[in-house]
Structure 1
């Protein structure tokens, strides 16, 4: 077995001092990962006053629990975050607040119960096997060695899994068209406009929104077609597949009320977008990190080979799970979460005035010097055995925390383990020579230049 060597994946270098107002605005729009200072990765709580508001950066696990669990009703998603997401996601589960969010969460929770997620493992397995066969055919046509943009390939794969699971009648589109739509959204509506950053009224036109209108129209047409077709099936008495779409149309709240057409529409968009983009990015980063870590790749391949003939269940792959968890630590899909303090509060002895924008940044938290040994090193051993037990609660938040923890967390973890099991059993992925790698935020954390990798049959 190869000995582990220290690998420190690429990331922006923290600044020694906070950026000035103009530099901060420019940097946030280009790549929000580049705004952090050295002190952000050392201090547990920081208060700052900008030209437009008062902000707090929280990296203390006890304080994070207070914000997301103990006093969560005092902290709602702030307007800037919602301006970024609502043009595409509307009023679905991710963007709803208060009672509207609680109602939707309650109605959707039964679908994402552990028994239901376990039942979907076989469908995830079938989709992953289909994708692996497609990649194998491409590699074989190139004499067993082909360079692919794995970021694109993982995007296609996760869309196929959605078709097999959450939307089993299909998404009624060509996958490449939808991937292009997501890319256009991330480069237009997925970038904060300067008018949003300086707090200008929402009625002022935004260039990003103008450029993204065609993208949103296409997505709306796809989703409306899905809803109409499923409604006709249900109204006619046909047996509808027990997937997420059927659940959205059939769910009732305690008062017997159904979700509105807009709520159904916006939640479909939310789950297609979030379920596709975040998992695709996490898989891409995982394959990259393993390509740079021969020791861990060899151990993962050995574990997968041992269970090659088992069923689609993933409980017996602790090392694969640990690699994914370490990937999510270094490259969390959602690198920042912001809330606004409705009333003044005290957090770990620090006063948070009313109106303060409170930020918990998983990207900073997961690399914080007080919480992690060699925080910038890729080391899946953190999530194995005794080391795993030493991780502070609320120090690792790739899926959020508290009541707003990602409802699809179980689905996503199962999906990623199943996919890696199929891919790494058949292929070896190596970064294409000279290909640059750097994380960039466009709503989610993506590889800025894609991820071109050589794919070889094992």
Structure 2
């Protein structure tokens, strides 16, 4: 069986039709030829865009010369009311300063420190699913969102999602994503930062609510730091780390920007990845049983994570088929040559993990779920040259290592306790807005694994 994949559009459509398709779902707005093309050019009256799947070009943009390909503000403009000047949207010296402060919090030694909070969130998720494991068809996306949000709040602020403010932030983020499309006017019409962006009223209201709640949590933490009573979590680490070049630390408004992107990136992407992985395992019960068997041999320790080899390969394969962030946009600042074609300054450069990870010239059987591919030569080559679920190079997601640990831990905990089965006639359809989610939910049946084994 081939996992769910959105239909491609016809090769030629009008600009107006393309804009309507793109606004609804950026994946089904693309033609099928992008799954085998090394590069494609798209022209509008306002700019030119180049999607690149050539591994050499991707390496040039992300690894070799990243300063020559800064992030484009065409997509970022739509997120600025919420994310402000977060590390996700900035470029140049400001971005480098932010990374010098943030990166130490996610260094290898610190990941060990976050493990107990991740595991506690997983234990809570297992407990919440217990009354739902009756074989009834259920949309599991709310559950994976709850679990991922719990991880973020426990690791960042040492509070569970049941904390009143944490729950309010979670609810406000859901409201924001229902109102904010990935595109607004700024994505297609160039203009200065002060140009009106025409956000919906409820979008701005949700952003204000989120930022007010995060400001409250951040101000409280700053007071705890000054009083010497702050817990040793990610928020404390980031707020007390000084830029080694300038000696500056984040103030409250700057920290609010960073917490907003930590929650959006760390919660939304993890929730999507976990939901798609459970769907793939429901689709392939043989792999699900292998993960469950491996999980039951895990001793529950951080050092024991090295034994979850099958679990990691399953999660890695899920990120290949359903990369949480389907497209990334950079911009040229000087003349370039892409595959013998002249590219002018100001052109948009689109990198699409969705298409790259399913490229027919790179991967064997690219649309199939096959965790064993990562032990093959083709899989190892693809991982080096064409696998970017967290981007690559200097701008690689600072939480990539954290996300891989979180994915393995939550999967091991959930699969050791429960079995997930497909629901006939309720196959999910991927749609992409901020992340790759489903059009009508992720419907699965959940059963207690122990009772299922006894009944068989």
Q: Where on the TM-score scale, by shorter chain, does this alignment land: which range?
A: over 0.9
**Among candidates 414, 422, 429, match of residue 423 of structure 1:** 414
What TM-score does the superposition give when structure 2 sets the normalisation length?
Answer: 0.92
Cα contact 1:308–1:425 (8 A) shared by 2? no
Output the CA distance in 2 between the equivalents of 1:18 and 1:394.
Answer: 30
Task: Note the C-alpha offset of 1:228.
Answer: 1.5
Three-state SS of the structure 2 residue aligned to 1:437 is coil
What SS does structure 2 have at the residue aligned with 1:393? helix
Query: Counterpart of 2:454?
Result: none
Specify the alignment match of 2:257 in structure 1. 266
- 1:63 paired with 2:57, answer yes
Q: How many residues align?
A: 446
Give the whole-Å Cα distance in 1 for the aligned partners of 2:325 and 2:186: 22
Asked if the contact 2:153/2:159 (under 8 Å) is kept, the reply is yes
**2:44 corresponds to which residue?**
50
Equivalent of residue 175 in structure 2, options 162, 175, 184: 184
The correspondence for 1:371, drawn from 331, 354, 362, is: 362
CA contact (8 A) 1:187 1:442 kept: no
The question of 1:86 aligning with 2:80 is answered yes
CA RMSD, 1 decimal = 2.0
State the partner residue of 1:151: 141
Query: 1:117 pairs with 99, 111, 115, which one?
Result: 111
State the alpha-carbon separation in 2 of the partners of residues 14 and 355 from structure 1.
28
Question: Is the CA contact (8 Å cut-off) linking 2:126 and 2:413 kept in structure 1?
Answer: yes
SS at match of 1:229: helix
Residues 18 and 261 (structure 1 numbering): CA distance in 2 closer, same or farther, change over 3 Å?
Answer: farther
Alpha-carbon distance in structure 1 between the residues aligned to 2:231 and 2:6: 46
Give the deviation of 1:155 after TM superposition: 0.8
Distance 1:355 1:404 in 2: 20
- In 1: Cα distance, 2:294 partner to 2:6 partner: 33
Instruction: Give CA deviations for 1:326-371 in whole Å, capped at 9, x if unaligned.
Output: 1111111110011110001234544322111111111111111111
Correspondence for 2:235: 245
- 1:227 matched to which residue of 2? 218
- For 1:330, the equivalent position in structure 2 comes to 321
When the two structures are superposed, what TM-score results if normalisation uses the length of structure 1? 0.92
Report the more deviating stretch, 208-217 or 97-106. 208-217
User: 2: distance between equivalents of 1:176 and 1:145?
Assistant: 28
Measured at CA, do residues 251 and 128 of structure 1 come closer, stay the same or move farther in structure 2, by a change above 3 Å?
Answer: same
Corresponding residue of 1:165: 155
Kept in 2, the 8 Å contact 1:149–1:453? The answer is yes
Q: Distance in 1 between matches of 2:246 and 2:193?
A: 34
1:206 Cα deviation from its structure 2 partner: 4.7
Gap regions ≥5 residues in structure 2:
450-456
Alignment of 1:4-403 (within 5 A): 7-139=1-133, 144-169=134-159, 172-173=163-164, 177-194=168-185, 196-199=187-190, 203=194, 205-236=196-227, 238-253=228-243, 254-305=245-296, 307-312=297-302, 313-391=304-382, 393-403=384-394
Query: 1-side partners of 2:259 and 2:201: how far apart?
Result: 23
